[in-house]
Amino acid sequence: MEYTAKKAILVVSFGTSYHQTRKKTIDRIEADIQAACPDRKIYRAWTSKMILRKLKTRDGIHIDNVKEAMETMHRDGITDVIIQPTHVINGIENDLMKEDVLAFQDCFARITFGAPLLTSEQDSREVIQVLTDAWGGLPKEEALVFMGHGTPHYANAIYAALDYTFKDFGYKNIFMGTVEAYPSMDSLLKQVKDYQPSRIHLAPFMIVAGDHAQNDLAGNEPDSWKSRFEQEGYAVTCHLKGLGEYDGIRHIFLRHIEEAQ
């Protein structure tokens, strides 16, 4: 296809070394964006140095980081670019990505940024709607626990806010925690104990069901969330479905691109 206007969208993701989840999440997000914006060429950049290194050494696959993608677009004669992150929050990864992009602002006539998944109150409400619709059949006596990533960045407050909002909307059996920040697993154990569910469903609150989902959430190590809940005597079911697999979540990214145009 010929792109007459030199317009592009750079889709920036954290990345994953798990090909199966990538196909169902990052690839789907990019395909939806291309379908919604046929006049723009889609480029990809990933921000995790560790994942980029792993793919290079393990699979011989090179994926551009943000700097390399900006250089490629400049070489290709792109003049107008929308940067759309698939990051969940406006955290450290997003701040660093913006720095890398803005180092190239003199090379492009126009650079605009789409927002990460959870940026406005509307975003939070839509995400909750998507997830509660998807989990509508969950019996009241069972609990759903989402695992977010968590960050030392102040944007981490969104996870506790979401937990509160689920409950404010009447979903007392949905809980939100993080692997690396607050609410922690210890907080979750206390909250879930008060609810006394007959079964716990664990699901990642991350775009891809990658390393954290496979190991920290569903792994058999004694410190995984699955193991810790089982040690407390709960029956546990793990659902390895990344947020990028939900149509409604991908639709939010499309709205963010529309708002950035």
Catalytic residues: 149
Helices and strands (H and E) in the chain: how many: 11, 8
Tokens matching residue 57: 């050494």
> Whose CA is closest to 169, among 138, 125, 199, 139?
125
| Radius of gyration from C-alpha coordinates of the chain | 19
Tokens matching residue 64: 């551009």
Question: If you ran DSSP here, which 8-state letter would residue 77 be given?
Answer: T
For tokens 């492009």, name the residue.
108
Report the C-alpha gap between 242 and 218 in whole angstroms.
13
Q: 197: cis peptide before it, omega within 30°?
A: no
CB-based contact 158:118 (threshold 8 Å)? yes
3-class SS string, 140-164: CCEEEEEEECCCCCHHHHHHHHHHH
For tokens 């990658």, name the residue.
210
Residues 6+ apart with CB under 8 A from 184: 177, 178
Rounded to 5°, the CA angle 127-128-133 comes to 100
